[in-house]
Structure 1
């Protein structure tokens, strides 16, 4: 059975957080802190080319969760990760959970990406009715489960859903103020894919380092993870 070791009796489920050349300093650590502090009792480890656990089919087979943090440009990141595309797809299809934050959300798409979403991604800053017009670190307004919130933002995606995406299989948690999907959880095979364009996992220093007022949105990140894990 897939992921049997991660869910065996007496063992905490393993959560792998990518850290390597397809991300930026601070992004993996924020995701790891979120997963460690959350109510899920996960064994959180970093994975990547310089980590004790390489990002491989063997490592993923032990895990329940794989998290892809934020980072730099999509094209460069995908070049670093394209050899892991099939192992990541197999991991989710067999029942794993993929968490994608900003760049990790882009990478869940198809052009280029891992092809995990029932659709694709595009830049929010290029969409009609956007409130952010460039790629600087800033704040963005979203409506999360019907409530307006302000979240740290760094040129994140919106999600383009195929018409075939069924409501039972895709849950939109948040939209930008122009109505485009900003965070969602979708099924892929036996697993789930949870993605967000903004950064609800951002810690206070992300805001203060950029001269922005702090908006604690970690409860939204907890909601995203909980929905991925529990449905």
Structure 2
């Protein structure tokens, strides 16, 4: 869970040995945002099952490798775009296993806890008895879709990570010319499809990608890629360093100008580019 303002100074004093990423607003309690207040659709443990209304099913990871509020923020972005959203994780109705991702349109790896190292998040994922990196890789390689937000973007890279990108992820605040250089919550300037935008940001990654299959949607002001869609086998991967899914309360709690409407539009653009679908009318 993201530290409150009183704890922020203590967190800054901590020695961070590797990139940390992404958390929720301190106003969010256990389970976080508005998505937490709604019960997940019934599904058997170990499998999502089809949606009774025929909507595409998205699985959002919720467990110790994600922060409180981050899965719920992703839930709301996806639900707004017409997905039937379910959570997957060690305490959820849907759990990792051989058939967990069968028939699923999209798997989402959300933001992680503030101060959590990428290697720690990776270890926590692998402690889930049904989880394996190859489960996710095989799902995408076979035609599935992966959305990685902040920590999920880091984990799309290599060592530690799924290795889904045609390149790797890195820590933006440590890159040359970065406009944000600490792990606190900020607005970050990006150029999204050539247009200047400001987005919610907390120690997110940049992406070193190359090859004809990599579509860079956004860049930070130092020209590092901030949002990318790329192919992996027969599937597709989308990653973002900033948080397009950030709700208004995240901005309010950190006394930032509210860019949540802009973020929602950018998140939808990222989703539609990933899925190859047209925006809603």
Distance 1:20 1:84 in 2: 15
User: 2:166 corresponds to which residue?
Assistant: 118
Out of 48-57 and 149-158, give the one that drifted further: 48-57
User: 1:213 corresponds to which residue?
Assistant: 257
User: 2:211 corresponds to which residue?
Assistant: 166
Q: Following TM superposition, by how much is the alpha carbon of 1:108 offset from its aligned partner in structure 2, in angstroms?
A: 0.3
Task: Return the match for 1:107 from 126, 149, 155.
Answer: 155
User: 2:91 corresponds to which residue?
Assistant: 50
- Show structure 2 runs of 5+ residues with no match: 1-47
Distance 2:49 2:158 in 1: 28
User: 1:147 corresponds to which residue?
Assistant: 195
Distance 1:187 1:137 in 2: 31
Maintained 8 Å contact 1:183/1:195: yes
Maintained 8 Å contact 2:207/2:224: yes
Distance 1:69 1:218 in 2: 15
**What value does the CA root-mean-square deviation take over the aligned residues?**
1.7
Distance 2:78 2:132 in 1: 22
User: 1:227 corresponds to which residue?
Assistant: 273
- Show structure 1 runs of 5+ residues with no match: none
Structure holding more strand per residue: 1
* Structure of higher CA gyration radius: 2
TM-score scaled to structure 2, two decimals? 0.75
Distance 2:96 2:74 in 1: 17
Deviation >4 Å, runs of 4+: 5-10
Distance 2:110 2:52 in 1: 29
What are the superposed Cα offsets for residues 99-134 of structure 1, whole Å, 9 maximum, x if unpaired? 000000000000210110011111000000100011
Q: Following TM superposition, by how much is the alpha carbon of 1:8 offset from its aligned partner in structure 2, in angstroms?
A: 9.8
User: 2:36 corresponds to which residue?
Assistant: none
SS of match in other structure, 1:57: coil
Are residues 106 and 61 of structure 1, via their aligned partners in 2, closer, same or farther at CA, if it must alter by over 3 Å? same
User: 1:20 corresponds to which residue?
Assistant: 63
TM-score scaled to structure 1, two decimals? 0.91
Are residues 10 and 32 of structure 1, via their aligned partners in 2, closer, same or farther at CA, if it must alter by over 3 Å? closer
